Amino acid sequence: MATEILMPALSPTMEEGTLAKWLVKEGDTVSSGDIMAEIETDKATMEFEAVDEGTIGKILIEAGTEGVKVNTPIAVLLEEGESEDDIESAKSEAASAPVAADKEQSSETAPAESKTHPEPETDTSPDWPEGTTLKQQTVREALRDGMAEEMRRDETVFIMGEEVAEYQGAYKITQGMLDEFGAKRVIDTPITEHGFAGIGVGAAFGGLKPIVEFMTFNFAMQAIDHIINSAAKTLYMSGGQMGAPMVFRGPNGAAARVGAQHSQDYAAWYMQIPGLKVAMPYAASDYKGLMKTAIRDPNPVIFLENEILYGRSFDVPELDDYTVPFGKARIWREGDDVTIVSFGIGMTYALEAADKLAEDDIKAEVIDLRTLRPMDTGAILKSVKKTNRLVTVEEGWPQGSVGNYISSVVMQEAFDYLDAPVICCTGKDVPMPYAANLEKHALVTTQEVIEAVKTVTYR
C-alpha cells in the first residue's frame, strides 16, 4: 500500500521547518538509509533518510517551502508493484497518533500532592523500654558497633573507603574491623572518590550492601554524580526493577581550623534529592540505631556524621539489636514557650541555649530531627501548635537551608498558630575562614540562638 512520507520532527523542540531541498525526484527508487531531502529545523539543516524501500510516487511539498508543520505529508512512497493509481490510497502512519493532545492533558491533570505536607501521625514512643541498662559510649564506638553488628548479621554488607582497613580509619571509626571481618569485607580504596563511589553503586546493583566511607563529605563532591544520578534515581528510572541499597557515610560540616574546602555542611543539599534518605544524628545511641537501620534500608542512605561529635559520650542502651526508625524525631527537652528544632551538631547549640534560657524562665522545647529525609515534620508542627514560636538551628549556609524548608512547611501548615516569624539560625554566608576567631564567628553560636528565641518570644 502506498505510504505518505511525513514531515519529520528532527529535534526535541521542532514544530515546523523548511523543506530546503529534495535529493530525489518522482519515479526514483529509494531504500532504507538513502537521503531523500534536506530539512532546515530551528537549529540546523538536517538530512532526512528513507526508512522503507519503494518508489517516490509523488512529491507533495515543493523544495523551498517554509513553515511546513511536523507530520504534514510531504511525499508518497509506492511499494513494489504499485503505480501512480495507488497514490490516492496513500495512508499516513501518523493517523493513529494524537500524541501532542495527550501530553497537554497529562500535565494539566497531574495530581497536586507535591504541594501539600500531610501531617503524619507522629510517633512519640520512647526509643528504648524503661529499665534498659545504659552504658556511656562515644559516638565513634557506637557507630563502629552498629556497623559491625550488621556485618555479622549479613554477609553481603561490606565497607570500602580510604584508610578504612589497615590504617583503622582516618578518624578511627573502623578500628578493629579489618581484624574481625578480613580484607574481603573491609576494603582500602585508592584516593579516587568518583571511581569507588561508582563501583560501590554498581556492587549494590549487583546484590551487595556496600557502606561507602568518605573520609569527609567534602570529598564526596567528586562523587556526587554517582550518589544522585546513579544511586538515587535508578529505582525510578528502572520502573522499580533495581536500585542501590547502600550507605554513604562520613564526617560532614566543619571540624576545627581546617579551612574552607574541608568545612562544608551538605545537609540541605542531600535533603533535596528524591530517592535518597538522609540521616544526621547527634547522640551516640542514634548513631548506632540509625546506622543499623540505614544498612538494612533498601534505598541509598546518606549518613552525615560530625568529627567533633565522634569523641563525645552519651547513654547507649545495652540491647542486642537496637535500631532507631527513620523519620522519628527525638524530643530532648519539653517546654511551652518556644520550639527549637535542630539536628547533628546543631543540637549542641540548641541544648546549650535551652539551658541558659531556662535561667531566664523561658522554657524551650528542643527537637532533634535525627533524619532529614524522611523528616518528622509532624513532630515540629505538633510542638509549634503548643509553643507558637519556632527557631531552627544548623551550621550550614542560610540560603536554601534546612531551616528554610522547615519554616515553609510550618507557614503552610500552621500559619495561624504562629505568634512570631520563624527565625532560622545558620552558619554565616561565607566560605569557612581559617583564623580561630573568624571561624567561631562563621558558625552559628549559642548566643545567636538565645537572641533568636528572645526575639520570637518578645523578651
Partner 1 sequence: MAAKKPSDKAAPSNVSAEELKAYYRDMLLIRRFEEKAGQLYGMGLIGGFCHLYIGQEAVVVGLEATAKDGDSRITTYRDHGHMLACGMDPNGVMAELTGREDGYSKGKGGSMHMFSKEKKFYGGHGIVGANVPLGAGIAFADKYKGNDNVTFTYFGDGAANQGQVYETFNMSALWKLPVIFVIENNQYAMGTSQQRSTSSAEIWERGKAFGIPGEAVDGMDVLAVKSAGETAVKHCREGKGPYILEIKTYRYRGHSMSDPAKYRTREEVQKMRDERDPIEAVRNMLLTGKHASEDDLKAIDKEIKAVVNDSAEFAKDSPEPSLDELWTDIYATEIPQEA
Interaction with partner 1 in 355-394: which residues (CB under 8 A)? none
What letter would DSSP give residue 415? G
Interaction of residue 33 with partner 1, rule CB under 8 A: yes
Minimum distance between the CB of residue 433 and partner 1, rounded to whole angstroms?
A: 31
| 28: its cell numbers | 526514483
Comparison of 223 and 418: residue with beta carbon closer to partner 1: 223
Give the helix ranges, DSSP H, for 76-176.
99-108, 139-153
**CA distance to 46, 259, 262, 354, 435, per residue, from 440 (Å):** 60, 12, 15, 20, 9
Please say which residue, 205 or 397, places its beta carbon nearer to partner 1.
205
The least distance separating partner 1 from the CB of residue 412, rounded to whole angstroms, comes to 19
Q: Are 48 and 55 in contact (CB under 8 A)?
A: no
CA dihedral 358, 363, 134, 209 (to 10 degrees): -120
In the bound state with partner 1, the residue whose beta carbon lies nearer, of 28 and 360, is 28
Rounded to whole angstroms, how far apart are CA atoms 226 and 187?
Answer: 19
Where in 199-228 is the site for partner 1 (CB under 8 A)?
A: 199-209, 225-226
Joined grid coordinates for residue 26: 518522482
Cβ-based nearer residue to partner 1, 9 or 260: 9
Q: Is 47 in the site for partner 1 (CB under 8 A)?
A: yes
Q: CB 61 → partner 1: shortest distance, Å?
A: 15
Question: Which CA distances in Å does 376 have to 54, 197, 202, 286, 331?
Answer: 65, 29, 31, 15, 11
Active-site residue among 4, 149, 262, 413? 262
* Selected binder of partner 1 within 115, 166, 190, 415 (CB under 8 A): 190
Spell 436-447 as b/e; 16+ CB within 10 A means b.
eeebeebbbbbe
- Asked whether position 69 contacts partner 1 by CB under 8 A, the answer is no
Minimum CB distance to partner 1, residue 101 (Å): 11
Q: Which of 141, 149, 193, 413 is catalytic?
A: 193
Could you confirm whether 194 is annotated as catalytic?
no
Q: Is 234 in the site for partner 1 (CB under 8 A)?
A: yes
The 10 Å CB-count burial string (b at 16+, else e) for 221-243 is bebbebbbebbbbbbeeeeeeeb
Q: Is 229 in the site for partner 1 (CB under 8 A)?
A: yes
Site for partner 1 in 244-283 (CB under 8 A): 245, 274-275, 277
262 assigned to active site:
yes
Query: Residues 349, 342: contact at Cβ < 8 Å?
Result: yes
Residues 6+ apart with CB under 8 A from 415: none
* From 82-90, 230-238, 350-358, 434-442, span contacting partner 1 (CB under 8 A): 230-238
Work out whether 100 is an interface residue with partner 1 (CB under 8 A): yes
Tell me the pairing of strands 209-213 and 157-161: parallel
Instruction: Kindly state whether residue 55 participates in binding partner 1, applying the rule CB under 8 A.
Output: no
Q: Which stretch binds partner 1 (CB under 8 A): 45-53, 352-360, 394-402, 407-415?
A: 45-53
- In three-state secondary structure terms, 32 is coil
Contact between 30 and partner 1 per CB under 8 A: yes
> Residues in contact with partner 1, total (CB under 8 A)?
79
Compare residues 111 and 126 and give the one whose CB is closer to partner 1: 111
From the list 105-113, 342-350, 388-396, 397-405, the region that binds partner 1 by CB under 8 A is 105-113
Positions marked catalytic: 193, 262
